[in-house]
Structure 1
Amino acid sequence: MSKKRKAAGLLLASAMVLLSACGSNNTAGTNNNGSAASTNTGTAAVQTESAETYEVVMGFPMLGNTPKDIAEVEAAINEITVPKINATVKLMAVPFGQWNQQVNLMLASSEKLDIMLTDFAAYSNAVSKNQLTDLTDLIDQYGEGIKTSLGSKLDAAKINGRIYATPSNKLAEGGSAIVMRKDIIDKLGIDLSAVTRADDLDQVFQTVKEKESGMTPLASSNTLGGMSMTALIDSLDYDTLTDGLGVLMTGDASMKVVNLYETPEYLAALQKIHGWYTAGYLPKDAATIKTQPNDVVRAGKAFATITSDGPTAADKETANNGTEMVKISLQKPMHTTQTVLGLMWAIPTNNTKNAAKAMEFLNLTYSDKDIINLINFGIEGKHYTKKSDDVIVPVEGDNGYVVRQSFMFGDTHLTYLLDGENPQGRVEEKIFSDNMVQSKALGFIPNMDPIKTEVSAVNNVINQYKVALETGSVDPEKILPQFNEKLKAAGIDKIIAEKQKQLDEWLAASGK
């Protein structure tokens, strides 16, 4: 997957708050962790087993144009699904920029939609509004492939002991890493053997600045969906509790929710980044530059950039930057509710006429290799050729079916490798995932609906200050106090108190 597609994938989590925004005639259930539980079971749409073939409509956002050969791919999928589950499939691929509006309209009108993509940020609020079918019993009946694929990850999706959406089983990544141009490292004789933390980068950046005229040591990351520059600071370690508005610091065993922006660790991180900025290690327009970091490195204007860590991170960034990159791991990876749930698949309560059939098809996306590869890559011989059993070469250009959003659908581990990917990458990813630390709050999903006014106000303040602070463009000693003062005026303390209340209830209910 290209860096632009990866960044767009991250965008989904912040831009797809569609369910929390759309209204509902059903309002039972006010809190997902300790108060009234949602009463939605979706029973009216569950049965309807008949001899008639059912059409499953699967809705998702497209990061590019809707493929012109989508009907041919649907026909190929139907050759599998009709004999297996007596269902045909319609892939409702909506251009990313139109996704929220179109799905909101569909949900409001009860237009047919059997399976849809949502995300962890919208999940709790949608459940509290009875917009999502309770999948718990359906998974037991028709979701063996889902249970096998996700294992204990499925538990993280529980709200009051029930499951309303299934997370995509994406490849493991987490924490952070800096990736640097190997040709420059070799040319300048930079020794990376002692570089294990952010403080060790100072000398590396200084050497590049002094000896490579016209090259910025570190490309700026400031775009929506991109990784914050604070991800480079290994001493800043916390669970965002899904949105960062009240976090758990990893080293604190008290399970106390705190304002990240008031912690000494956050101030120290900003001071380090501001020091890099004033030393010229970051571009002067770091807060406003619109060019993607990979594009700056590819153009020879930057030495290093940030990425999510993982066993294949260096290989991916080598492909993205057009030159060999060397990786140094920094922040430690951690399984959190946000990272485990990420993008999720749900069955809308009022839009499906057969939730059981929808579940049968959803299960195939986690268990049937042919189906998941048809969705992602199209038809063999027309849209790609096989180099080996699991390695493919896409037909160049707009071949009629360019999707390749494997991070989104079912079980990513079933998808083909693209030619050039590390053949051992999937095995290494599993080892990486198995060794990740697990947050003590894994599975906690706060319901922000009671404090939605404060959330909106606080996010407005964050949008005003965060980019300038986290790109080092302003002095944190002067600006951070102003930021926190405005956060308090906007209601961040109320948000933290509500999150703490819900976390305490969740801990008591889960016996943790």
Structure 2
Amino acid sequence: MKKKIVKRLLSAGLVLTMSAGLLAGCGAGGGSDDGNKDQGGETGDPAHIIVTYITAGVDPADLGKVQDAVNDITIPEINVEVEFKPLSFTESLSQYSMWIGAGEQIDLMCVAFQDLKSYIDQGMIDPIDDLLASEGDKITSLAEDEDFPLYSGAQFNDQTYAVSVLASSYGSAGGFLMTKESLESAGLSYEDGDMVTLDELTDIFAAIKEANPDVYPCGITGSLPPSGYTFPSDPLGATAASGVLIGLDSTEVVDYFESEEYYDFLEHVRDWYQKGYIPQDAATTDITLDEYMKSGTISGYFSEGQEGLKNTLESNLGKECLHLMINEPYMKSVSSATNVYWTVPVTAEEPEAAMRFLNLLYEDKDLLNTIQWGIKDTHYKVVDEEKGLIERIGDPTAGTSGIGVWGDQRMVYEFGSSTKEANAEWTEAAMNNQTKGYGFAYDSSNMTNQIIAVQSVITEYQPALETGSADLESTYQAFIDKLKANGIDEIIADKQAQFDEWLAQQ
């Protein structure tokens, strides 16, 4: 079965960009285009929809102009006027429930790297089957092909609650993305893709700091905790708040935050912080990693490892970059291929229009690239239409967050060179390194309240711990104790029981 899946993925040219790499400013395999099909939108005044817009912590300066350019496309095509509602990934963990609880209009909501089931169990999002049938012809057409898992992890009790991003590669990994000149300035020589350990990164950071005292070798921000890039783990279709498998061979669900691997990472990052390798305001800054890189403040940051991420950063900086890999691509259990879902909240006032807009994101190349990269010939220019290659114009952050959470990412332009072949190789490697949970998805409905409480604790402690800002002796045990007090062990036991039952049936 595994070989068959890989073969079908490669033959279809499926190139999906995974999880935290999306938040690192991903590019995707551009060049395909289904054209700007007439949606047959309704007549009369445009329907006004409010759509969440995920950022890395800073709103693009020209987001209003990009929104206008989006509406220049959507109003004629589908009679829908879009209003973006920006917020950071970290803010989304708590803000969504507050907005919905207050009855605030949100017509289309991106649930990224969270437990989708908890939103369903709390009654915050509606099933979308009827909307897909009436307004989602492109999405439903794509979903008929098993190579495109648009509903994976989003269907419960024979109802569909979300659509996932069709991105550019399957599989997770982790590495450190940095400029080549920072290594050379310290007399170091590495090639793109070389494997390193955290101890070796310590030595690299020390050499860079000695050669460049005013530079922080390691960029980390509290809004994007990086531990997930440093060792393989599988939350089994949910999040770390309900426990994970660690490594490719384990069948034991454990507390991610109490694991040896996590504590080892915290010890390293605390050491780096104390030695001045990490910006001292990392836990609270609203400066993005790409802004830090552009200003020369940092030498690099943790990243998923795909070639498209490197190409995008090189385009932003005008400098050669490379990935030092910490682990190789691997495949987690099912959920969305990217763990990024688009949902229609119960407070939506224009659900049909929201679905028309979502559907258009899977077939309109101009719309997708406007949202992804900004306004053509203002924020970027096309250098090779056939290959789908572009170059930046001016400030790379002015027109976009650069986060690939939108539609069919195979239509998104790339920087530098095409990554289709590299993404196919990445996917094949990941499919050959599956965790023991591949194919399983945890049903968290019995633990909804506990998961909410545990996630609140994680949000409280994680930014300080994972930037090295917090003293481990006084903070770490308090974090673990508070997780236990709020029920994490009970959640893990529930997940383990479901997983054991699933394993017995395989």
TM-score normalised by L of structure 2: 0.70
Q: Are residue 282 (structure 1) and residue 277 (structure 2) matched?
A: yes
Secondary structure in 2 aligned to 1:96? strand
C-alpha separation in 1, matches of 2:458 and 2:41: 53
Rounded Cα–Cα distance in structure 1 between residues aligned with 2:273 and 2:379: 46
Look up the SS of the partner of 1:245 in the other structure: helix
Q: Which amino acid in 2 is paired with 1:92?
A: E
Over 3 Å counting, the alpha-carbon distance change for 1:349 and 1:244 in structure 2 is closer
Contact 2:221 2:289 in 1 (8 A): no
Task: Show the counterpart of 1:131.
Answer: 125
Aligned partner of 2:263 in structure 1 is 267
Supply the RMSD in Å over aligned alpha carbons. 4.6
Q: Distance in 2 between matches of 1:383 and 1:274?
A: 38
Match of 1:91 in 2: 82
Secondary structure, aligned partner of 1:331: strand
SS of residue in 1 equivalent to 2:64: coil
Write out per-residue CA displacement over residues 307-333 of structure 1, whole angstroms, 9 at most, x where no aligned residue.
Answer: 221113333333455643332111333
> Counterpart amino acid of 1:123?
L
Distance 2:423 2:253 in 1: 31
Question: What residue number does 1:204 align with?
Answer: 204
Match of 2:51 in 1: 60
- Which residue pairs with 1:25 in the alignment? none
Q: Give the one of 411, 423, 442 matched to 1:414.
A: 411
Matched, 1:239 2:239: no
Shift of 1:186: 2.5
Mapped to 2, the partners of 1:135 and 1:487 lie a distance apart of 37
C-alpha distance 91-162 of structure 1, shift in aligned 2 (>3 A): same
Question: Map of 1:210-359 to 2, 5 A cutoff?
Answer: 210-216=210-216, 218-224=217-223, 226-228=224-226, 230-231=227-228, 233=230, 236-241=231-236, 242-251=238-247, 253=249, 255-277=251-273, 280=275, 282-283=277-278, 285=280, 288=283, 290=285, 291-320=287-316, 323-336=319-332, 337=334, 340-348=337-345, 351=348
Which residue in 1 is equivalent to 2:427? 433
Contact 2:175 2:304 in 1 (8 A): yes
Query: Displacement, 1:363?
Result: 3.7
CA contact (8 A) 1:175 1:332 kept: yes
1:177 is matched with which residue: 160, 169, 175? 175
- How many Å apart are 1:453 and its aligned residue? 4.3
CA deviation map 1:122-159 (0-9, x unaligned): 63133332832243994699311344596245433333
User: Normalising to structure 1: TM-score of the pair?
Assistant: 0.69
Identity among equivalent positions (%) equals 22
Q: CA deviation at 1:259?
A: 1.2
In the alignment, structure 1 segments of 5+ residues that lack a partner are: 1-5, 13-48, 82-86
Query: Which structure's relative contact order is higher, taking Cα pairs within 8 Å and 6+ residues apart?
Result: 2
Indicate how the Cα distance of structure 1 residues 153 and 213 shifts in structure 2: closer, same or farther if over 3 A, else same.
same
User: Residues 379 and 316 (structure 1 numbering): CA distance in 2 closer, same or farther, change over 3 Å?
Assistant: closer
* Structure 1 position 493, deviation (Å): 1.3
- Does residue 366 (structure 1) correspond to residue 357 (structure 2)? The answer is no
- Please give the secondary structure, in 1, of the residue aligned with 2:114: helix
Q: Which amino acid aligns with 2:277?
A: L
Q: Distance in 2 between matches of 1:383 and 1:303?
A: 25
Report if the CA contact (8 A) 1:384-1:395 is conserved. yes
What number of residue pairs does the alignment pair up? 451
CA distance in 2: counterparts of 1:286 and 1:52, whole angstroms:
51
Secondary structure of 1:312's partner? helix
Show CA shifts across 1:165-197 (max 9, x none): 110123337422113332242244323367532
- Between Structure 1 and Structure 2, whose CA radius of gyration is higher? 1
Cα contact 1:61–1:95 (8 A) shared by 2: yes
1:232–1:330 CA contact under 8 A, matched in 2: yes
SS at match of 1:169: coil
Give the drift of 1:394.
6.9
Q: 5+ unaligned residues in a row in structure 2: which ranges? A: 1-18, 26-39, 54-58
Q: Which amino acid aligns with 2:218?
A: A
- Cα separation, partners in 2 of 1:73 and 1:188, compared to 1, 3 Å: closer
The answer to whether structure 1 residue 454 and structure 2 residue 450 are counterparts is: yes
How far apart in 2 are the matches of 1:222 and 1:410? 27
